[in-house]
Amino acid sequence: MHFTEEQIAFRESVRRMAEKHVAPIAAEIDENDRFPIEIVKLFGEMGLMQLWVPEKYGGPNGNLTMVCIAREEISRFSPACGSIAGLNTMFIMPLLHFGSEEQRQRFLPVLAKTGTVTAIALSEPQAGSDVSAMTTRAVRDGDSYVINGRKQWCSYGCVADYIVLFARTHGERGADGISAFILEPKKMKGITFGRHERKMGWRGAPNTPIFLDNVRVPIENLVGEDGRGFRSSMRALDLNRPTIGAQSVGLAQGALEASLAYAKERQQFNRSIAEFQGIQFMLADMAMQIAAARTLVYECARCGDEGDFDRLPVLASMAKCFASDMAMKVTTDAVQVFGGYGYTKDYPVERMMRDAKLAQIFEGTNQIQRVVIARHLLSGAFTGV
């Protein structure tokens, strides 16, 4: 794993910002489940939300490695705030890879400006891991489409300026026949949101269902070809999953740092608990697991930056799965290091453990990631080198 001088300087600037602006509000955001609008403004001004907008459209011209760096550093304190860095990635990717130049000229300069929030609406109540089972339908009507249905787990959708929504335009089931559309919820009629999901962790990042009642979307908001939207959703997920791995690494790193500080300070039997071999072994295991996950995440990021889309899908699944499983174990061990205090909200590790659990579930459960990895192995598409 090798970072350029530019990437190292970027990492240091994000780290300083996170220590100054994110760390002090992390516990309060979790306690109140508050969407930190001030962080949106700050990240927008720093170019962190819109990292992946190319320079020709007014953006920072970042890449997957830079998004991973930003999310890792911020997630040491709050993965909810970490999600806001590179938040617009899932909206940008379908436009860059499958959209028209007219669409890129229309939307990307807007995203390059500060504070624009976007979202992606893919999952449904009965279509989570099996995206191809979606039933939300878009019917062509003249020079527009009329969309009806429901989406679930839409992160930031209720505060978004734009949403990429996937709906079925042909057939009843399967990957073929799914199309991608750009919604403008603050302008289009028929879009309503349900209550915020009351999550165990990752609080401060709103998730809400979306209800679509005869929503009319102009044909120029169709991204790519009619019925070929599933490809864009998979490409977007492949490029976003490593960033979830990076957040998991940052979260685990924060738990390790808290555990180290506490173990040196906490006294039992007239010495610090850091002097006990049992604690030392736990800390060593935590550090090894974090280092391994970090290496895998940034190897995947390098693969994405180089456009190696043959290896990217399996590496993305590996990075997301391994890093989030690691974060769950490390944060659980951190609670153990803190003992009884680790189980209280007076210390951050119980929050970190709750946050780690979601990373194993969203962006495709870790069971689904293992299915993806196994398919590549069995087909010979991935040999491990």
Block residue for tokens 């890093």 = 323
Active site residue 101: no
User: Is the distance from CB of 294 to CB of 242 less than 8 angstroms?
Assistant: no
Q: Would strands 267-268 and 222-223 be described as parallel, antiparallel, or unpaired?
A: unpaired
Structure tokens belonging to residue 138:
């878009």
Cα–Cα distance between 288 and 129 in angstroms, integer? 31
User: First CA to last CA across the chain, in angstroms?
Assistant: 16
Cα–Cα distance between 261 and 228 in angstroms, integer? 52
Instruction: Kindly name the residue from 72, 73, 124, 363 that is annotated as catalytic.
Output: 363
- Kindly tell me the number of DSSP H helices and DSSP E strands found in the chain: 12, 10
Half-sphere exposure of 101 (CA within 13 A, CB side): 1
Return the sign of the alpha-carbon dihedral for residues 363, 154, 208, 215: negative
Which residues are known to be catalytic?
A: 363
